[in-house]
Each structure stands twice: as structure tokens, then as C-alpha cells.
Amino acid sequence: MSMDLVSEQLTDLIKESRRIAFQNPSQAFDIAYEAKLIAEENDLETSQAAALFAMGLACRSMTELERCYDHAYDSYQLYEQLGNNRGMAEALNLIGVVYFYYAQYEQALEHFLNALFHLRDLEEFLVSSRVYNNLGEVYREVGNEEEAFAAFEQALQISQDNHLQMNVAVILENIGEMHFKNSNLDISYDYLQKSYDMLIELDDITSLAEVENKIGKIHFIKKEFEQARHFYDSALKRLEHTGNKFYTIDVLVKLAEMERLENESYFLDYLNQAVQHAEQIHARKKLSRIYTILTEFYEEKGQYHLALDYFKRYHIVEQAIETQVVSQKLKIIKIELNKVFTGKEVEHISKMNEQLENEIAIQKKLLVKLEKANVDLSDEVYYDELTKVASRREVTKYLQKVWNEESHLNHDIALMMLDIDYFKRYNDCYGHVQGDECLKQVAACMKSAFGNQKGILGRYGGEEFVCFTNGLEVNELKQFAESIRQAVRDLNLTYHFNGKTLPVTISVGAIHCKKSQLTPVLDMYVMADNELYRAKNNGRNRVEIRVL
């Protein structure tokens, strides 16, 4: 293959890697790594530097910041040898982003300004607009609003003049956020709405969801709750579609805040979902915020044992955050030392590295200890506060334990989803306080009907419950499900709707199978939920069971 064809192949690989860096960072890294190997084999240093940068970009998307820094620095050094100012500027910008994530704002600022220095005689508008936008974010974080606005406006001007629509949308969002923090809600709304309209056309789902969440916050502050819910719900659907748990947490917290005064059970359910997501992706800062909200909530209610529990969790997470930041900074210092020093200084640096390695190991041990303490605390509160049955988290934990057991693959298992029919009508008739009492009675009734069955009964969220049984045959499951449905009907709870007095009933959807027939636990939830949907469509107050 000729060198021109190799160069063309490398250009295509690197472009593809950068294109999918945020949607599929793992694949993007593999593509960039392949390009790097080809470039090394053919002594194509410019392509090698570009591939290293693309690897760093993919690592940033995977939040593997030490690797991002490492690859970006290697890219910078190669570009520096080649005298490629554009490449140096991009690499410096990415290194600055790593420092920004670690809250090392002085170093971030230094790298962003250095990037602009390399761009001073170039018409590289896309890179320039990104660097100015990043400068604005640094100034915003350190409280220098005047410089932040100036940087954002400069980035906006460059992007608008050169029709860089995606950059324009992002910068408009950042300016809107600045005005929001200054309580200039109408100005903030205008900027966010402009960003939103552009993102609709660009079809950037994650960015759209971020802006929708921010617009929802403005409506919420203005007490325009219906509009706020519309934007929150839309953001949540988009994020669940993409599987982005990081931003989903923020939306769930905002939805919880809306429900705090109206419906305590929904408030707690949204926060429990947010906690699960935060724990899964180790989003400690978000966990800290949620634990603060729950501490204040239980303190106001006079439930001081729970308030103390969540305050302990908050304290542990804050310690974990501090420990993690120290560990990450030490890793960056180690990489810096390895990159900068060579020759006779290596022996001295090796000793310093050894000291750093020891310090990092100490920090890691402390972090593991703190994480374990938080898990131990989490295990203490696995029941639903309102209904006194197992919480969704406890049910999930129980099912995961069942699934991890390699034995009993051919045992009969079943999962039921149980939902109170027309519960909104009950709330509309009597109000949310009485609605909570209804939930308590229905839960107690289900718990009594559940008896000593082998399995677990819990609250899934809102007016929906979940029940897992182990060892019931199909006919036994049908009888069991019908007994719960009838027991709730016999409570004789009623409400008024359209001039009629109607009973409180439940619909039940269930899946019966062998454990060996399913792989993930999620499959059972999906199938049982489909049967519940069928029960609702077939008239409610009935049981529908799918047998595999």
C-alpha cells in the first residue's frame, strides 16, 4: 500500500474515532489505537500525534482522566517536535480540561491560555471557540463573572461568525446558566430557549436533556409546576433512552423536589432511584447532595434516627471525595514527572515516584474503607418508610443474590407487578395525605396475604408493588395472585368519581419460569410489566400471567 493510501486510511480512522468519541468512547479508543499502531509502523508522526489525541478524547468521555492526560501529553510532545501549533493547542486544551475536572483551576487556566497563544496566528475557529468556552467555565468556577462572561461572549462570537452551530448551542447554555446563578431568570430562559431550539435541529439528545432540565428549574422557581414537570419528564425520557445515568440523577432530584410537598412517597422514590444511579457510577458529589436533602427531610419530620443515618452517609461520602481528589492529583503529578524529566534525573524521579506510589496506595486503602462504611450504612435502611414493606433497593438486592446463586436453576420462580387501579382518582378525591393512608393499608394487606412465602414483597414506586416467589408452581401462583387481588378488594376502600362510589382494586401482571430460562433480572421485570399492562387493558382488577 502506498504512503498516500496509508495516510488517507489513518485520516479516516482518526475522524471516525473523534466522531463517535462521546457516543461510543470504548470503540472510539480502539479505532484511535489501531491508527496509532499503523502510524508508528509507517513513521507518520503527525498521524501518530492525532491518534494519541483521539485516544485521549475517548478516555475523557469514559472519565478515565489519568489516561486522558497521559495520551494528550504524548500528543502535545509529538506536535511540539513537529512545530504543529494547531495540534499543540488542541492537546493543551484537553490537558486543561483534565485539570479543570480535578478543580486545579490555576493549571487549567495556564493550559487554556497557552492553547490560545499557539492559535494566535491561525484561523482555527472551532478550536479557538472551544478554548474560550473552557476559559469561561474556569472563570465561572472561581467566581470571576466578568471574565467568564467575556470569554463566553468571545467564544459565541467566533462560533456565530463561522456557523459552528453545535458550539453556539453549548455556549448559549453556559451563558444561560450564568444568568440563572445570578437570578436573572428571564434572561437565562431566553438563552436556554435559543440553545434548546438549536439542539432540537441538531438532534443532540444528551445536550437537549441538560437544557430541558435547566429550563424546568426556571419554571419550578417561578412556581409554573406543569411546565416544569413537562421539561423534567422530557429530559428523563431522553436520558433513559441514552442510558446516561450521570445527568439522569439531576433530573430525578428535581422531580423529587417537586413532589416533596405534594406526595412524600413519590419524593422518596425519585431520590431512591437517584441514589441507585449515583452508587452504580460512583457519582459521589451527587450522592453527597442527595444525602443532604434526605438528612434535612427526616430532620424536619422528627425522624432523627434516619436523619442521623443520612448525615453519616453524607460525611463518609465527603471524606471519600476528598480522598479521591488527593489520589487523582498524586497520579497526575506522577505522570507529569515521568513526562518532563529524562536522563540523569530519572533515578531521582524514580524515588519520587516510589514515594508517590506509596501515598497513592494509602489513599486508595482509605477510599476503600470509606466506601465500605457507606455500604454498611446503606444496608441498614432497605425498607420503604411509608408502607413498611421492602424498598425497591432491597428487592433489587434480593433478586441479585438469587441470580448470583448457581444452584436451583430449574426451580420455579415468579415475579409479580401489582398496581393500584386509578390511584390518581383516589388522590384527587381525598388528597395525598389520605392517599398515603390508602397505600399503607394496601401494603399491609398484601404483606398479610404474602404470609410466609419464600421470596420478597416490596414497593416498586408510587402505587406499584413487586412480589417475587421461589418454588410456586403455575397453578399455585395463580391462586396466590388471586388471593392478594381479592384481599385488597375486600378492604372495602372506596372513592368517588363522576358521581359513583368505586372500590379500590389492584391489577396484577406476572411472569412464571425457571431461573435457567432468563439471563438478566431485568428480563423478568420487563415481562411482568408487560403482563400488568395487559391486565390494565383488559379491564383492571384482574390477574394476567405469562408462563415460559
pLDDT one-digit tens code per residue, 362-419: 666 655 665 565 555 554 456 787 888 888 878 887 887 887 776 666 788 999 999 9
Closest CA to 167 of 145, 189, 136: 136
Q: Please give the helix or strand (H or E) that residue 320 lies within, else none.
A: helix 304-340
Q: How confident is the model at residue 346 (pLDDT cuts 50, 70, 90)?
A: very low
**pLDDT tens per residue, range 425-475:** 998 898 888 888 999 999 999 999 998 888 899 998 889 999 999 889 999
Closest CA to 287 of 318, 265, 322, 327: 318
DSSP, residue by residue, 271-285: HHHHHHHHHHHT-HH
**pLDDT tens per residue, range 137-172:** 999 988 899 999 999 999 999 999 999 999 999 999
Report the alpha-carbon distance of residue 70 to residue 155 in Å, rounded. 27
Helices (H) and strands (E) in the chain, counts: 22, 7
Report the alpha-carbon distance of residue 298 to residue 286 in Å, rounded. 19
pLDDT at residue number 17: 92
The C-alpha angle 155, 158, 162, rounded to 5 degrees, equals 140
Q: Specify the amino acid at residue 250.
A: D
Q: How confident is the model at residue 264 (pLDDT cuts 50, 70, 90)?
A: confident
Report the alpha-carbon distance of residue 205 to residue 254 in Å, rounded. 19
The strand ranges marked E within 219-314 are none
For 93, 115, 118, 124, 125, the CA distances from 162, given in Å and listed in that order, are 20, 20, 20, 10, 7
Q: Specify the amino acid at residue 264.
A: E
The model's pTM is 0.59
Q: How confident is the model at residue 14 (pLDDT cuts 50, 70, 90)?
A: very high
Q: How confident is the model at residue 304 (pLDDT cuts 50, 70, 90)?
A: confident
**pLDDT tens per residue, range 522-534:** 678 888 988 999 9
Q: Specify the amino acid at residue 521.
A: V
DSSP, residue by residue, 343-406: TTHHHHHHHHHHHHHHHHHHHHHHHHHHHHHHHHHHHH--B-TTT-SB-HHHHHHHHHHHHH--
Closest CA to 439 of 451, 427, 453: 427
